[in-house]
Amino acid sequence: FSPIHIIGGGLAGSEAAWQVAQSGVPVMLHEMRGVRGTDAHKTDGLAELVCSNSFRSDDATSNAVGVIHAEMRLAGSLIMACADRHQVPAGGALAVDRDGFSEAVTAEIQRHPLITVVREEVTALPPEDWDLAIIATGPLTSPALAEAIRERTGKDALAFFDAIAPIVHTDSINMDICWYQSRYDKVGPGGTGKDYINCPLDEAQYNAFIDALIAGDAVGFKEWEGTPYFDGCLPIEVMAERGRETLRHGPMKPMGLTNAHNPTVKPYAVVQLRQDNALGTLYNMVGFQTKLRYGAQAEIFRMIPGLENAEFARLGGLHRNTYIHSPTLLDQSLQLKARPGLRFAGQITGCEGYVESASIGLLAGRFAAAQRKGETPSIPPATTALGSLLNHITGGHIVSDEEPGKRSFQPMNINFGLFPELEPGSIVKPEGVKRFRGKDKTIMKRQLIAARALEHCKTWLGAA
Ligand code: FAD
């Protein structure tokens, strides 16, 4: 076989290289560190962890990231094998000795007879004679390559910052207080009437909320993160500081909305949540991008009527990040539709985190290797953690009815909201249990989704 070229030897690129090589196909892995650094990496080691040393929960029975760990192990992941070998005690989490981990990944990659590591910066899209290639250059993709990607994908399809609004699990929203309605009842093509969930605030609740936002503890931008705020993406707490009424005339305006539970009383302000995934299991808080610290966010956003018990699939943030608009640009096997054979992997596809980036590298590697061998890439079922994350990246997104053409696509960690719902009737009260409350049901639901994921992953790998 002729080699598959992989650009970037981070979490995703290293895993992709391993998967390709383990399937008997040679790899050229191009990594710029050693020649050119990034603002966050400190070493030349492959798969360097730039910040925390945690791979998060390792509980495969009821935690989504634990499930993806388990699936990656089943698929022969190098990143997971090295993490397991260099684990340090961290309760239920999988934390690693960062140097030992990166050194182990580097050694395994360098030792592999089918992998050649080339230390160079790739400054343009892969040349045509690299017929199969994977770009895995991460959140800190070098500017020259980012510009080349942007020229190819269009300027709106590559972001240099993420501006993330919190995302809430739908089943934790109190629909006795909230209601479904699009502003002015606009329904676009394919509209279900469930595109938006609205939370009403009266004047006192609004004022208390604004006070809490202003008092909230924001995270500063790191110097290298550059210009902090950009058009249309002001953090909600900055908007609140600009004037007490700013939010009521902006993202929290009550116009065109009638409280279904109390139609005669006009809400003073409304927080809207927009359907975030095709499954309808997640809703994002419209216009609520924020730099507040995570602890403060949960506390302040639970002040909103209807969100008092909100479970957040992810909290808001604003970071430097390079990622493409994968749902429109990539096909199911992570190939750029405009250039078959060129794949993307890792954080640049719009996943978030070490584990998720490595898992998308794992898939991109397997898909590219299959293609090189003349096989059809085998896509993991959507019920697996790998499949649900892939689905988030490549297509699980809805077009907003209210703003046709706009899609909500924000970088995402793996979470149970990305998995398809269970068959109706799957959650049954265990025998002998007297009180089976909402929390118990949530735990059982997660356990059932996790068990289904692992079972389907084993079948997928057996068939792959
Ligand atoms: P990376 O691991 O960044 O790998 C990309 C590689 O591509 C790098 O080695 C880079 O040198 C190389 N490269 C870039 N451009 C080129 C080029 N033109 N030619 C050749 N090589 C190139 N995630 C967590 O889970 N926990 C955290 O605590 C955490 N903290 C973070 C802190 C910061 C400051 C940043 C920026 C990100 C953080 N992340 C964290 C996210 C984390 O970086 C990613 O999830 C993960 O490292 C992404 O994996 P990746 O393989 O996509 O990119």
CB 15 within 8 A of CB 4: no
- Residue in 143, 130, 127 with CA at minimum distance from that of residue 38: 143
Closest atom of ligand 1 relative to the 321 alpha carbon: 36
Does any ligand 1 atom lie closer than 6 A to the CB of residue 216? no
Does any ligand 1 atom lie closer than 6 A to the CB of residue 353? yes
Query: Out of 39-48, 140-149, 181-190, which region has the weakest mean confidence (pLDDT)?
Result: 181-190
Position 39 scores a pLDDT of: 86
- The Å distance, Cα 162 to ligand 1 centre, comes to 14
- The Å distance, Cα 373 to ligand 1 centre, comes to 29
Query: Which of 11, 46, 79, 326 for mutating ligand 1's site (highest number of atoms within 8 Å of CB)?
Result: 11
**pLDDT tens digits, 264-287:** 999 999 999 988 787 889 998 998
- The Å distance, Cα 361 to ligand 1 centre, comes to 12
Query: Which of 121, 352, 357, 415 for mutating ligand 1's site (highest number of atoms within 8 Å of CB)?
Result: 357
Nearest alpha carbon, ligand 1 atom 28? 52
How many Cβ atoms from other residues are within 10 Å of residue 128's Cβ? Answer: 8
Position 397 scores a pLDDT of: 52
Both tokens of 246, joined, read 């700013």
The CA distance from 296 to 123, in Å, is: 41
Position 317 scores a pLDDT of: 84
**pLDDT tens digits, 331-364:** 999 999 999 999 999 999 999 999 999 999 999 9
- The Å distance, Cα 147 to ligand 1 centre, comes to 18
Q: What is the mean pLDDT of residues 51-78?
A: 96
Position 226 scores a pLDDT of: 53
Does any ligand 1 atom lie closer than 6 A to the CB of residue 354? yes
Position 401 scores a pLDDT of: 45
Angle between helices 64-74 and 78-85 (to 10 degrees): 110
Higher pLDDT, 329 or 409: 329
Residue 224 has pLDDT above 50, yes or no: no
CB 247 within 8 A of CB 240: yes
Higher pLDDT, 347 or 90: 347
Burial class (CB in 10 A: 0-12, 13-18, 19+), 119: middle
- Residue in 418, 347, 332, 360 with CA at minimum distance from that of residue 79: 360
Does any ligand 1 atom lie closer than 6 A to the CB of residue 79? no
- The Å distance, Cα 392 to ligand 1 centre, comes to 20
Residue 291 has pLDDT above 90, yes or no: no
DSSP sequence for 189-251: TT--S-SEEEEEE-HHHHHHHHHHHHHS-BPPPPGGG-S---TT---HHHHHHT-TTTGGGTT
**315 φ, ψ (degrees, to nearest 5):** -95, 170
Quote the distance between the C-alpha of residue 139 and its chain's center: 13
Both tokens of 37, joined, read 């650094």
- The Å distance, Cα 130 to ligand 1 centre, comes to 23
The CA distance from 114 to 297, in Å, is: 48
Residues 6+ positions from 319 with CB-CB distance below 8 Å: 139, 161, 162, 225
**pLDDT tens digits, 239-252:** 898 899 999 999 99
Does any ligand 1 atom lie closer than 6 A to the CB of residue 81? no
**pLDDT tens digits, 99-144:** 999 999 999 999 999 999 999 999 999 999 999 999 999 999 999 9
Q: Interface pTM (ipTM) of the complex?
A: 0.99
Does any ligand 1 atom lie closer than 6 A to the CB of residue 12? yes
Please give the model's pTM, rounded to 2 decimal places: 0.86
- The Å distance, Cα 10 to ligand 1 centre, comes to 6
CB 367 within 8 A of CB 49: no
**Residue 352 gets which letter from DSSP?**
-
- The Å distance, Cα 256 to ligand 1 centre, comes to 43
Residue 225 has pLDDT above 60, yes or no: no
Residue 227 has pLDDT above 60, yes or no: no
Single-letter amino acid, residue 65: V
CB 316 within 8 A of CB 322: no
CB 225 within 8 A of CB 38: no
